[in-house]
Chain A
Amino acid sequence: MKEIPLEHILFVSTALFFIGIYGLFTRRNLITMLMSVELILNSVNINFIAFNKYLYPEKMDGIFFTLFIIAIAAAEAAVAIAIIINLYRNLNSIDVEQTDEMKY
């Protein structure tokens, strides 16, 4: 495992982060935007695990941060989907262009 340099793992996580950003920029549907956010959070998790494994193998803080991020992502997804379903019930659409009730 150690013959792979850390930079290659960071390449994967950086690329995944920017793929998520691209999805967040181009998608106009709340559920697909939520999926992009999940990709971004996962790229951060890969970073934490790789740094923990390669730079500080005697500690475990990266593991704990990853576990906390996964827990918060689960809570965030649940709340976001509750909001999306409520929005759909009221507006009959989950397109971000039409969710402008609180804008003016």
Chain B
Amino acid sequence: MMSASAVIFYILSVFILATGLLAVTTGKIFRSAIWLLFSLTGIAGLYFWLQMEFIAAVQVVVYVGGIVVLIIFSIFLTQRSGKELPAPLRGRAILSALAVCAGFLLTYPLIGRYHFKTRGSANHVMDASVGNIGMQLLGTSEHGYLLPFEVISILLLAAMIGCIVIAYKSKPGDK
């Protein structure tokens, strides 16, 4: 008899994988974006199940609220959303499915055979509260992550400026 927690995990897993599979196989691009949205929400649920509330919140805010909305906007800007995508060539689809299955069958038995030394939660209770994450993320002590944090902020600034430069509409005269 499985506990409720295990049942929730398996339901979440099936949900994530099924919606992910639909996102890469469905024929209409807008539906694909919506299936991706469901899959990312399921992953946020998985983070909640792992008791990582902050990561789950970041997942919902950045992925579901940011990236998927950006993708949907770009779908609206570049094509008619109801249009049927051309189906992949049959040979290419079969070959990719074979390659993917081979990769999975090569990788997963290796993972299953490696015995991870899972440590008991008795002596170490993980404290992933927001305060703790913030103190260590911005800490300059031994395990602090202040320097990567600053590098990421510069990267985001560079990406923002790059986006503006790339998408900037040049005047019809100058080429």
A70-B20 contact, Cβ under 8 Å, with A10-B111, A11-B108, A59-B143: no
CA distance A74 to B39 in the complex (A): 17
A77/B70 in contact, CB under 8 A:
yes
Nearest chain A CB to B74 CB, angstrom units: 5
CA distance A28 to B43 in the complex (A): 26
A32/B32 in contact, CB under 8 A:
yes
A35/B136 in contact, CB under 8 A:
no
A21-B100 contact, Cβ under 8 Å, with A14-B108, A35-B33, A53-B50: yes
B78/A94 in contact, CB under 8 A:
yes
Q: Residue-by-residue, is A7-32 near B (CB-CB < 8 Å gives 1, otherwise 0)?
A: 11111101110111111011111011
Residues of B within 8 A of A (CB): 3, 5-6, 9, 13, 16-17, 20-21, 23-25, 29, 32-33, 36, 39-40, 43, 46-47, 49-52, 54-55, 58-59, 62-63, 66-67, 70-71, 73-75, 77-79, 85-86, 88, 92-93, 95-97, 99-101, 103-104, 107-108, 111-112, 116-121, 124-126, 128, 132-133, 136-137, 143, 145, 148, 152, 155-156, 159-160, 162-164, 166-167, 169
